[in-house]
Structure 1
Amino acid sequence: MRFSTSEQEKLIARYAALQIHEDAKAARQSYRELLTALANWPSDNYRQVVGQSDYIEEKLGNILKSSQRVLPYLDNLDDHTATSNALIILQGIDSSLQQINQMVTQEAVRQEDGAQAVFQMYQRAQTGLFLGFLLSGLGWIFFENKRRKEQKLEAETSLDRAEQLEHQLRHDSVTGLINHRAFDEMLTSAWSGLLEDQTLSVLSIDLETRLPARNKFNQATEDALLASTADLLRHAVDQLEGVTCVARSAGKGFLLMAVADEEFGLTSPVVANRIHDIFLRPVPTALGSFLISPAIGYADSKTVERDPSDIIRNANLAVANAVNHGRRRVVTYEAAMRTEMERQTIVENALARAIEANELLPHFQPQFNLKTGRIFGVEALARWYHSELGWISPSEFIPLAERNGDIVSLGWKILETACSEVQLLPNELTVSVNLSVAQILSDDVVAMMDECLGRTGLPASRLKLEVTETTIMSDLKRIQTTLSEMRALGVGISLDDFGVGYSALSYLTDFHWDEIKIDRSFATKAVRDRKIRDILKLVLGIAETMGSDVLIEGIETVEQRDVLVDLGCANGQGYLFGGPMAIDDITTLFFSENGQRSFAGI
């Protein structure tokens, strides 16, 4: 009776239902112990009872063979088929063990009957036999009481375990807050009890894009920051009147619910701004203090009619709007956000198919010598015409491509098509193409660039690759090495959008740039801002020393062009000369018999 598979069956069944990894581990350990016990059985005590039984020996051998089939299934309990097979085999083993147990019990009973007959032959042992039975009865009572206490303790332990499991299913392990599922239940309850003069508000707080960089921020630090943020939110919620609760949402965010009366209580904007203000100071943790600025979106019960879950969805739309537009302030839900999100979903779903179907094509913006008015090159820019939505702006689909990983395939499509189409223009014209961070960090980017040039037949000297300062900042040394390898192929390397964001003169001197492109904001400001003109002169001087060409973007007026020419700027592009256009339009405007070849007269 030492041998039973009931414990293993219970652990496996509970793991299949609750997915508690300790149960799976315990099942495997318990089963290996059972195998060890079976391998050492029958014992001498057993043989004293039943002697040598070929039938039982054969049955035991079958049990051992069957038991070996269970182990592979125990190592793969996440598979429902493996779980079912393990339970079926275990039940068969247990049935065989019970049959052996019954045979042994019957033999033991037979031997006991024989022993009693012998004892009855000895009248003088009657008193001793009576005392033996009396002691056995007392022992049975003692062990029965003990067994009942153990069963009670086991029931209490099981109840505690069930309560613990229930708590784990409803709470976040990092912060201790209720999770999204429990928050939905509390929101539904608050919604059902809402009075006419009350408003139910939900705040969605997003930290996903506001946390420090991962190269300086490990998982332990992130968990500590989330836990400290949860404490700050708990404290803030405790200061609010009415029904409130705070929960951990999916990802690295939080949800907050508040119910306010029209006459008393704080309005949704006030609550949202109070929450935002607690992050004006660094968040203290056991691993240091961190300054973060979360995106916060909120919505209230006035924005929905029937389903309370719409409040959460609307709050999430508001916070998504804040993240997408780079806002570090509180954003309230507006009906237009749903339309925007629906459009974004349509565009995102269509993007991969459009890239595969070559619906995204390069348009070319001409680049001119500002003194001669002659076109010397073009910049390839991705453009997308959707059959239902019409022209989709790059400012809309490029961020989506970067977020979902399509930017790499899009970048190579535009590069290869541009390299092919530019060969329809005169041989002296160059083509500039932007490289994304994801492209340039690919291990095979240099080989793919070489293969693209070979496949399209474009001479490397006609291609210029543009990278922005933000791209370089992502991994300075690695990117500089990659750019040097691509420059060795013969292509030109251009620093794009210089003067935006984290611009530093060190970027001009740390690498040999074939071209430096000045951001369009300088063309606008240089007309009336003397300091901007002085900065441009400085950059032009450094570029001349470094042997780099300079091109200024965004020239839209004759006045801007004249000022830039006076400063010494040689090259430029902008809507004064022409916006992005198809390759056929470039040919018609600048290289047909009647086409205008020079803009020197502007």
Structure 2
Amino acid sequence: MTDHGQVTASRSAQSSARLEEAINHLSFGIVIFDDKREVVFCNGRYREMYGLSPEQVKPGTPTHELIRHRLNLGLKVQVAGDDYIRERVGREIALDTTMQEFTDGRIIAYTVYPIPGGGGMATHEDVTEREEINARLKKQYELGREQEEALRVRNFQFDTAINNMSQGLCFFDSGHRLIVCNDRFVEMYDIAPERVSPGMSLVEIVDLRFEAGSFPAMTRDEYLQWRTNVAVSNEAKDSIVELMNGRTFKIRHRPMPGGGWVATHEDITEQRQSEVKIEYMAHHDALTDLANRVLLNERLEYALDRIQNGEMVAVHHLDLDQFKAVNDTFGHPCGDKLLRIVADRLRVLVGAADTIARMGGDEFVIVQAAIADPADATSLAQRAIDALSEPYDIDGQQAVIGVSIGISVGPGDGSNPDKLLRNADLALYRAKSDGRGTFRFFEPAMDLQMQTRRIMEQDLRKALPAGEFELHYQPVVNLASKEISGFEALIRWNHPAKGLISPATFIPLAEEIGFIVPMGEWVIRQACATAAQWPDNFHVAVNISAIQFRSPGLMQVIVSALAASGLAPTRLEIEITETVLLHNKEATLALLHQLRELGIRIAMDDFGTGYSSLTYLQSFPFDKIKIDRSFVKNITEDSSSLNIVRAVAALANGMGMTATAEGVETAEQLHSIASEGCTEMQGFLFSKPLPAAEIERQFLSGRGPREIQGRIVAA
């Protein structure tokens, strides 16, 4: 070899060495293989990446061993290792890039390049860090997209939410400029939507509201100054604003950190109207629109606090007379109309400073404020009696009622509402006791009387379980046969401290407090039990009050008493007054027919003293009419009483009923009632009411009819 050839070869070797050194220092691994898939060359980076020694990758090494080595290092594949090797070695050498992931987290980009003439070259680049960066960038990008979408959704939701709020909403910054407001705010103040935009000042917004007529009863400058003061105060504040157009808004102002504020504007017009209505209803009677007890107490207390220089306050407690009869006769709707008419008539009578209240039912109270003399109260009371006694035209039907009034005058009769109302009630009780249709002023003695009444009420309730009641029996005599036909059972009260108390004293009280029902039940049971021990030809009569008739268990009580005593129903006589038929007439008649079907006799007691109506006699076939003692008493001196007795007796005889005269005390009275056609009598002329033992001794111990006849003649 020439020197030139040696130099050239040396230079070529040096170049090859430098090229190999450069290839070994590349950042990626290179492996070259021939068409037999055997290694021709690999650089140092390749050996370093996979931890291979030069011996393991020497020329001639099959590439499948390199693949298996990578599998042993943790290359992740989807198939079995041998299948993967066969697939990789068996495929045609073509340009292809594969991302190889290892269990240690590395990612190697593996690219195959075919070489002309056969074989190929594969590059192995560790792209773990790059892929991680790409993954992070992708994740950040996706997160950004998600956040952007979430923000878009939130903005949409925010817009939807604030524009569907029932309240108006507005945000202002620290410079008092609008940031945002919702549709409801614009709508509430009748502002054109296109005229409102972010950046507008509070002054401009206020001007738009005044221009639209949505402003309170103050000038623009006054309103602007007020709202500005609220804004700069940096304090939460709630305000009620009543606009000139009749609307009422509630503004809730809340400062925001860093300045500015948010405010909600709520239309509370209907709420305020409801509150006013509820407040009114809480102080007024729904039926008559008069004051109720609550407002009455407030007005009365106010009136008492303001009296001066000898002025007085009069309290009139009114109770309608005969209202219940009208209510039951014509029905509750008519009764309600009558109460409204009463309220209207009272309104005409009182002064502007006076108060009328309905206390419930048919009771009213008038507070007559600042009167100079009790005579002023007298005048008002008399005018009320006159006005309320005038006839009432209710749906084409005429009704007549009256009124009783009790009056207390403060501060003399009481310096507080409770005392004045209580004393007016006591005076009312006296007015009703004195015959109704009148008025009475409170007197200190009334308080003592009421205390006495309360004590009697307490004693009355104890009397039944204590066995203090007993029945006396008054004989009823047949005038034709001169024989006793039966007895009327009359209750007596043997008070342990006061002795015998008259029925006229305690029966009205028993009816008033509802005690007449259990007391009446005892009378029915006791009378049946006693009469069952007497001869079968005697009947026993029991009085049943209107209140008892309204109690739902009356029929059961009577049937039970008959069954327990063994008394035949035909021997029991029920006495009722005309007032019984005034209360729910149809139900009362049905009950009377049920009693009649059992065989019980029915008598009309005190005929002619109440709401006498021939229709009652026509609607039910009574067995007996009892003529009240008030007519019998004057029969010999008063022609009108005689004519009434004659007419009733003729009526009874004509309708096939027995006519019984009550309260016969003289022979002259006996002669008159017998002459006028009465068929029975009872009264002191023959016998006063007696205990059962005395009845048995005098009349049931073997004395015959002749002795009874002689008793009447002797009398």
Give me the TM-score of the superposition, normalised by structure 2: 0.57
Counterpart-to-counterpart distance in 2, 1:229 and 1:546: 42
C-alpha distance 114-307 of structure 1, shift in aligned 2 (>3 A): closer
Alignment of 1:422-433 (within 5 A): 422-433=531-542
Q: Name the aligned partner's letter for residue 383 of structure 2.
A: R
Q: Is the 8 A contact 1:293 1:328 kept in 2?
A: yes
Contact 1:224 1:286 (C-alpha < 8 Å) held by counterparts: no
Structure 1 residues 402 and 193, CA gap change in structure 2 (3 angstroms) = same
- Residue in 1 aligned with 2:477? 368
**Residue of 647, 662, 668 corresponding to 1:553:** 662
Residue of structure 1 equivalent to 2:382: 273
Q: 2:266 aligns with which of 127, 149, 154?
A: 154
2:285 is matched with which residue?
A: 172
Alignment of 1:202-217 (within 5 A): 202-207=315-320, 210=323, 212-214=326-328, 216-217=330-331
Report the Cα offset of residue 272 of structure 1: 1.3
SS at match of 2:500: strand
Deviations 1:243-275 (CA, angstroms, capped at 9, x unpaired): 53333334443322224554x795221121122
Matched, 1:299 2:299: no
Query: How far apart in 2 are the matches of 1:145 and 1:431?
Result: 84
**Which whole-Å CA distance do the structure 2 matches of 1:550 and 1:114 have between them?**
101
Residue 627 of structure 2 is aligned to residue 518 of structure 1: yes
TM alignment of 1:216-295, pairs within 5 A = 216-219=330-333, 224-238=337-351, 243-260=353-370, 262=372, 267-282=376-391, 291-295=400-404
**Deviations 1:335-385 (CA, angstroms, capped at 9, x unpaired):** 333333333333444444433554333211122345776444211012223
Quickly say closer, same or farther: Cα 1:248–1:577, change in 2 above 3 A: same
**Which one-letter code corresponds to 1:295 in the other structure?**
S
Worse overlay, 408-417 or 590-599: 590-599
- Gaps spanning 5+ residues in structure 2: where? 1-142, 153-172, 190-248, 252-264
Could you report, residue by residue, the CA deviation over 1:536-575 in whole angstroms, capped at 9, with x for unpaired residues? 4454445445443332110112221233334444431112
Q: Deviations over 1:266-312 (max 9, x none)?
A: 52211211222232434678999865433322111264254443112
Partner of 1:493: 602
1:76 aligns to what? Answer: none
Out of 109, 127, 140, the position equivalent to 2:179 is 140
Of the three residues 575, 585, 594, the one matched with 1:466 is: 575
Provide the rounded CA distance (Å) in 1 between the counterparts of 2:282 and 2:385: 29
Letter in structure 2 aligned against 1:169: A
Kindly tell me the number of residue pairs found equivalent between the two proteins.
472
Q: Displacement of 1:183 after TM fit?
A: 2.5
1:465-504 CA distance string (max 9 Å, x none): 2223332454555545544443343333323222333435
Contact 1:509/1:546, CA 8 A, preserved across alignment: no
Cα distance in structure 2, aligned partners of 1:351 and 1:290 = 36
SS at 2:402 equivalent: coil
Cα separation, 2, equivalents of 1:450 and 1:290: 38
Q: Secondary structure at the match of 1:279?
A: helix
Letter matched to residue 315 of structure 1 = A
Contact conserved, 2:349 with 2:380, CA < 8 A, in 1? no
Q: Is the counterpart of residue 183 in structure 1 residue 296 in structure 2? A: yes
Q: Quick one: distance in 1 between partners of 2:703 and 2:365? A: 65
Distance 1:289 1:545 in 2: 32
For residue 421 of structure 1, what is the aligned residue in structure 2?
530
Matching residue's letter, 2:294: R
Q: 1:346 aligns to what?
A: 455
Alignment partners' CA distance in 2, 1:510 and 1:244:
48
Paired residue type of 2:410:
S
Per-residue displacement from partner, 1:68-92 (whole Å, max 9, x unpaired)?
xxxxxxxxxxxxxxxxxxxxxxxxx
Q: Which moved more, 1:491-500 or 1:350-359?
A: 350-359
Task: Indicate the SS of the match to 1:414.
Answer: helix
Is residue 393–residue 399 contact of structure 2 (8 Å, CA) maintained in 1?
A: yes
What CA distance in whole angstroms lies between the structure 2 residues aligned with 1:187 and 1:416?
50
Cα separation, partners in 2 of 1:284 and 1:553, compared to 1, 3 Å: closer
Distance in 1, matches of 2:677 and 2:637, equals: 17
Is the alpha carbon distance of 1:238 and 1:492 closer, same or farther for their aligned partners in structure 2, counting shifts above 3 Å?
closer
Q: CA, structure 1 residues 313+533, in 2 after alignment: closer, same or farther (shift >3 Å)? A: closer
CA 1:359–1:323: 2 relative to 1, 3 Å = same
Which structure dedicates a bigger proportion of its chain to helix? 1
**In structure 2, what residue type is equivalent to 1:385?**
N
User: CA contact under 8 A between 1:209 and 1:323: conserved in structure 2?
Assistant: no
Distance in 2 (CA, whole Å) between partners of 1:405 and 1:209 is 19
**Deviation, structure 1 residue 589:** 3.5
Amino acid of the structure 2 residue aligned with 1:340:
Q
- Tell me which amino acid in the other structure corresponds to 1:456: S
* Structure 1: gaps spanning 5 or more residues: 1-106, 117-133
> Is the Cα–Cα contact under 8 Å of residues 260 and 266 in structure 1 kept in the other structure?
no
Task: Using the TM superposition, name which of 574-583 and 154-163 deviates more.
Answer: 154-163
Larger Rg: 2
In the TM superposition, what whole-angstrom CA distance separates every residue of 1:397-439 from its partner, at most 9, and x where no partner exists? 3334434444333222111101212344444332111233354
Larger RCO (alpha carbons 8 Å, 6+ apart): 1
Structure 2 match to 1:200: 313
Q: 1:164 to 1:434 in 2, by over 3 A?
A: closer
Check conservation: 1:283, 1:290, Cα contact below 8 A. Answer: yes
Aligned to 2:426: 317
**C-alpha distance in structure 1 between counterparts of 2:464 and 2:490, whole Å:** 14
1:335 equivalent to 2:444? Answer yes
Mark the CA change 1:299 to 1:577 in structure 2 (over 3 Å): closer, same or farther. same
Per-residue CA deviations over 1:5-26 (Å, capped at 9, x if unaligned) read xxxxxxxxxxxxxxxxxxxxxx
For residues 183 and 375 of structure 1, do their structure 2 counterparts lie closer, same or farther at Cα, with a shift above 3 Å needed?
same
Q: Do 1:303 and 1:311's aligned partners in 2 also have CA atoms closer than 8 Å? A: no
Measured in 2, the distance between the counterparts of 1:564 and 1:375 equals 17
Separation in 1 of the partners of 2:483 and 2:329?
A: 47
2:406–2:427 contact (8 Å) kept in structure 1: yes
Please tell me whether the aligned partners of residues 384 and 393 of structure 1 are also in contact (alpha carbons under 8 angstroms).
yes
Instruction: Check the 8 A contact 1:229/1:283 in 2, yes or no.
Output: no
Q: Note the C-alpha offset of 1:326.
A: 5.2
Alignment of 1:563-578 (within 5 A): 563-578=672-687
Q: Report what 2:464 is aligned to.
A: 355
Amino acid at match of 1:368: V
Distance 1:459 1:428 in 2: 11
Segment of structure 1 superposing worse, 416-425 or 348-357:
348-357
Q: Is the 8 A contact 1:206 1:296 kept in 2?
A: yes
Distance 1:474 1:182, change over 3 A: closer
Percent of residue pairs bearing the same amino acid type: 31
The one-letter amino acid paired with 2:327 is: A
Matched, 1:584 2:710: no
Question: 1:172 is aligned with what amino acid?
Answer: D
Q: How has the CA–CA distance of structure 1 residues 156 and 394 changed in structure 2, closer, same or farther, with 3 Å as cutoff?
A: same
Q: Name the CA distance, whole Å, in 2 between partners of 1:290 and 1:549.
A: 33
Alpha carbons 1:228, 1:285 under 8 Å: kept: no
- Counterpart amino acid of residue 439 in structure 2: V
Tell me the amino acid that sits aligned with residue 232 of structure 1. Answer: R
Instruction: After superposing the two structures, state which structure 1 stretch, 346-355 or 201-210, moved more.
Output: 346-355
Alpha-carbon distance between aligned partners in 2 of 1:372 and 1:215, rounded to the nearest angstrom: 41
Matched position secondary structure for 2:323: coil
Rounded to whole Å, the distance in 2 between the matches of 1:265 and 1:534 is: 46
C-alpha distance in 1, partners of 2:468/2:323? Answer: 34
